[in-house]
């Protein structure tokens, strides 16, 4: 049983890792009052899609289209994050937000999306995962279910806060307060 669920558990762990980063971003938003810029919101959007792809692999069975959702979202996040890195790459052109462990959040986002692509590529090596019929025990099923609920809840929370920052209009480049 342990071997059978290794891929599912790895997917679930990685999804939890992405969710913990998104929760940390919320913590920074509300505790340090650093509101997300439009590019930050796009990165959050990509990270959530990525997390959902991995969560689907855990809750249902691993499928190629779940992986493709995660990889496409990771590529999108990497593109947005690299754009933000390039905006601030020239010395003395400023930056956005406070650094965490020496890097700004958009640099972490870029690294995370690349790690996700690598992670998905390594998981895809094991072809037998698509041919196994899984009969998930109830305690694991509940864990995977709560993971999916966490991703949906985070998406809902992001929808609410984005509306609070932007309203019906274009999002400000450097938001200082809620609408």
Q: Which residues bind other proteins (CB under 8 A)?
A: 38-39, 41-42, 45-46, 48-49, 52, 56, 60, 65, 69, 72-73, 76, 79-80, 83, 148, 151-152, 155-156, 158-159, 162-163, 166-171
CB of 131 to other proteins, least distance (A): 19
CB of 12 to other proteins, least distance (A): 16
CB of 139 to other proteins, least distance (A): 20
Inter-helix orientation angle 105-123/38-59, to 10°:
30
Three-state SS for 111? Answer: helix
Three-state SS for 98? Answer: coil
Residues 75 and 81: their CA atoms lie apart, in Å, by: 10
The helix/strand count (H/E) of the chain reads as 5, 0
Residue placing its CB nearer to other proteins in the complex, 61 or 100? 61
Residue placing its CB nearer to other proteins in the complex, 29 or 100? 29
């Amino acid at each position: 049983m342990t071997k059978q669920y290794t891929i599912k558990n790895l997917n679930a762990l990685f999804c939890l890792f992405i969710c913990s980063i998104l929760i940390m971003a919320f913590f920074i938003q509300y505790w340090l009052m650093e509101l997300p810029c439009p590019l930050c919101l796009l990165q959050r959007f990509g990270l959530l899609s990525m997390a959902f792809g991995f969560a689907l692999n855990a809750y249902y069975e691993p499928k190629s289209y779940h992986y493709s959702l995660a990889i496409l979202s990771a590529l999108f996040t990497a593109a947005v994050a690299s754009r933000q890195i390039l905006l601030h790459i020239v010395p003395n052109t400023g930056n956005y937000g406070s650094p965490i462990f020496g890097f700004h959040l958009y640099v972490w986002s870029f690294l995370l999306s690349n790690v996700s692509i690598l992670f998905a590529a390594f998981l895809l090596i094991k072809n037998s995962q698509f041919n196994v019929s899984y009969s998930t025990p109830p305690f694991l099923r509940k864990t995977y279910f709560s993971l999916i609920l966490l991703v949906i809840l985070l998406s809902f929370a992001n929808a609410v806060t984005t509306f609070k920052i932007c309203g019906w209009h274009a999002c400000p480049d450097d938001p200082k307060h809620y609408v």
